[in-house]
Structure 1
Amino acid sequence: MNAPGLARAAAAVLALEGIALVVVALIETFGLGSGDAANLATALALIVLTLVGAAALIAFALGTLRGRSWARSGGVVLQVLAVALALAALTLQPVTWLFVLGVGVPGILGFVLLISSARREIESDGPTAGRG
């Protein structure tokens, strides 16, 4: 299936977010070697959960390219969580603007692209969508 432009853009945002989480997990893994972790079990659990999130984002990106509604739905949920995380980071002092913008902007962009892609798909199906 040839994905429409909005779906490709949404998938690209999801894939880039997934890749960014893989990079974060790698950085944390290398940090274990330097003894940065206060509790090894907790650090390992956090790395594993980060990789699970990365795998989910990449799966949602591939599903979005294939026009799967479950992928868009999952992607929307993770984008909402990203925006909520960015907004919560605004309450920390001093505000880490790089984090807020690095998580919030792609979250908003991904959300808008996923919703727009879904709306475009519904519009292209026409008035008989879902019948039969």
Structure 2
Amino acid sequence: MIVVVVVLIVDILTLPAASLASAIALTVIVAIGAVFVSAVAIGALRRQSWVRGGALIWQLVQIAIAIGAFQGTFAQPAIGWALIAPSVLVIVLLFTSSVMAALARPQA
């Protein structure tokens, strides 16, 4: 996601945009997503319990994007499969007993 933010910033600075406001808004939204994914990754490394919810939300967002990649005039099924396959795998893994135990809240 951070790479996508950098690419979008470079595009804004080097290419003429049909709508500069839309380009900036998209870049800001992707930057917010990058911060969210980074926070979930850091939380996972620290084995914090809230990570499962954040990871699940991100996987659902990826599935929604993947479904969009299968449809429309500019459909890219390869991108859709590349997004949906790991998302489904991660969702399944999030509910395995080993992951749930690793990310469980410590008992007082």
TM-score range, shorter chain: 0.7 to 0.9
Specify the alignment match of 1:45 in structure 2: 25
Asked if structure 1 preserves the Cα contact closer than 8 Å seen for 2:94 and 2:100, the reply is: no
Q: Distance in 2 between matches of 1:36 and 1:99?
A: 26
Structure 1: 5+ residue runs without aligned partners? Answer: 1-20
Matched, 1:120 2:98: yes
Q: Distance in 1 between matches of 2:4 and 2:101?
A: 38
Indicate the percent of aligned positions where both proteins have the same amino acid: 28
Task: Tell me the secondary structure at the aligned position of residue 69 of structure 1.
Answer: coil
Change (3 A) 1:123 1:50: closer
- Within a 5 Å distance, the mapping from 1:58-69 to structure 2 comes to 58-69=38-49
TM-score, normalised to structure 2, is 0.78
Q: Distance in 1 between matches of 2:62 and 2:51?
A: 16
Structure 2: 5+ residue runs without aligned partners? Answer: none
Change (3 A) 1:36 1:104: farther
Specify the alignment match of 1:91 in structure 2: 71
Q: Pick from 100, 106, 119: which aligns with 2:80?
A: 100
Specify the alignment match of 2:10 in structure 1: 30
Change (3 A) 1:34 1:130: closer
Change (3 A) 1:130 1:24: closer
TM-score, normalised to structure 1, is 0.66
Asked if structure 2 preserves the Cα contact closer than 8 Å seen for 1:76 and 1:111, the reply is: yes
RMSD across aligned C-alpha pairs, in angstroms? Answer: 2.5
Asked if structure 2 preserves the Cα contact closer than 8 Å seen for 1:63 and 1:72, the reply is: no
Asked if structure 1 preserves the Cα contact closer than 8 Å seen for 2:62 and 2:87, the reply is: yes
Q: How many residues align?
A: 106
